[in-house]
């Protein structure tokens, strides 16, 4: 699990014993994607396709895989992103939602 603030600074990183190095990097990319944009990581790609003048999918350091969510404060202000990787994309997305709820954060999604 990775948490990144909306300035792109890492705030938290946790890996389970035996976690694959690629999963660690993917969790960071998912968190960074949702920290940059107040969208779930795969939604950034949909937004990019709908608005070709804003090709988010081609920016370095972003991913369109499921498992990244924006973190919003109680007033709806976008304050960062959270990302989880290591399972299927669908499970990563579910785990991310649960982790965000457990941490007391909110997401508009």
The pair of three-digit structure tokens given for residue 61, joined into one six-digit string? 């350091």
Question: What pLDDT does residue 60 have?
Answer: 75
Domain boundaries, the chain: 2-102
Q: Quick: pLDDT tens for 93-103.
A: 999 999 988 88
Q: Quick: pLDDT tens for 32-66.
A: 999 988 877 766 545 445 555 555 566 777 888 89
- Interval 72-79 mean pLDDT: 90
The answer to whether the pTM exceeds 0.85 is no
Give CA angle at 29 (27, 33), nearest 5°.
120
Burial of 71 (0-12, 13-18, 19+ CB in 10 A): buried
Of the two residues 82 and 39, the one the predictor is more confident about is: 82
Query: Which superfamily does CATH assign the domain made up of 2-102 to?
Result: Haem-degrading domain (3.30.450.150)
DSSP string, 45-97: HHHHHH-TTS-GGGSTT---SS-EEEEE-TTS-EEEEEE--SS-HHHHHHHHH
- Interval 10-36 mean pLDDT: 93
């Amino acid at each position: 699990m990775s948490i990144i603030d909306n300035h792109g600074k890492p705030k938290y990183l946790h890996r389970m014993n035996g976690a694959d190095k690629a999963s660690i990097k993917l969790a960071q990319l998912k968190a960074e994607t949702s920290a940059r944009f107040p969208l779930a990581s795969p939604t950034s790609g949909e937004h990019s396709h709908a608005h070709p003048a804003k090709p988010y999918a081609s920016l370095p350091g972003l991913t369109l895989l499921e498992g990244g969510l924006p973190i919003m404060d109680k007033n709806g202000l976008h304050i960062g992103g959270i990302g989880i990787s290591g399972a299927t994309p669908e499970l990563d997305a579910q785990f991310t939602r649960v982790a965000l709820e457990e941490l007391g954060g909110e997401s508009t999604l």
